[in-house]
Amino acid sequence: MTERPGVPARDLSDEDLERQGVHAHAMRHWVFLHGTAEQFRTHTERMLELEQEYLRRHPQRTWQGSGGGAATPSRDDRIRDLVQTFSRAVTALLDEEPAPAPAAGAHRDPEEAQVALLQRFAEAPGGRLHKLEAHQIARQLAPDNHLVARLYRQDPPLLQAEKDSRVLTDAGRAWLAEHAGALSGRG
């Protein structure tokens, strides 16, 4: 399989080299924003390896095709472009409004966060929320970003996927009724 990161760029066919290079360039912002520092470093090294091999084989072209006869940008120009791209991305990220922090003392317990999320589903028409809304609510309720995923994996599952929606199951309603009452009895 040619997708393995261990395959040197020089050993790839032109078609695989171009395909992997285009994919690496397309993924760089996602990896920068959502990956770990180690993933970003590894991805950047691989992307540059693919790009350098492509430019070595096709000095008059870029990832987008013919360079129009223009000279290949120097290494310093490519580094400067990469730094400016990521500088703009970091600036945009820092300019975003941070997500509101939960009220002091709210949802400290993972079970409380799960109850609060399932209650939001129960209040929604048909027990259905769009997947993006479900994940956004989960991020506000718990520092752990796996809250929604855990609800699918439970046996029986408390949520199920239906296209772009997430739906509260009968088991989820039963779990919510049992645990919401227990939590209100604690406080």
What are the residue ranges of helices labelled H in 13-60? 14-34, 37-57
Percent of the chain surpassing pLDDT 70: 79
Residue pointed to by tokens 């492509």: 54
Residue 70 clears pLDDT 80, i.e. is over it? no
DSSP state of 13: -
The lowest-confidence range among 25-29, 44-48, 117-121 is 25-29
Alpha-carbon distances, residue 27 vs 40, 84, 140, 158 (angstroms): 10, 17, 27, 33
What would the mean pLDDT of 160-181 be, rounded to a whole number?
88
Residue 124 clears pLDDT 70, i.e. is over it? yes
d(CA 180, CA 93): 37
Rg (C-alpha) for the chain, rounded Å, is 24
Angle at 63 between CA 62 and CA 65, to 5 degrees: 65
How many other CB atoms sit within 10 Å of the CB of residue 176? Answer: 20
pTM for this prediction: 0.43
Give the pLDDT band (50/70/90) at residue 6. low
Give the pLDDT band (50/70/90) at residue 144. low
pLDDT of residue 167: 92
Give residue limits of the domains in the chain.
Answer: 1-60, 110-185
Handedness of CA 168, 173, 178, 180 (dihedral sign): positive
User: CATH for 110-185?
Assistant: 1.10.10
Residue pointed to by tokens 């590894």: 42
Residue 104 clears pLDDT 50, i.e. is over it? no
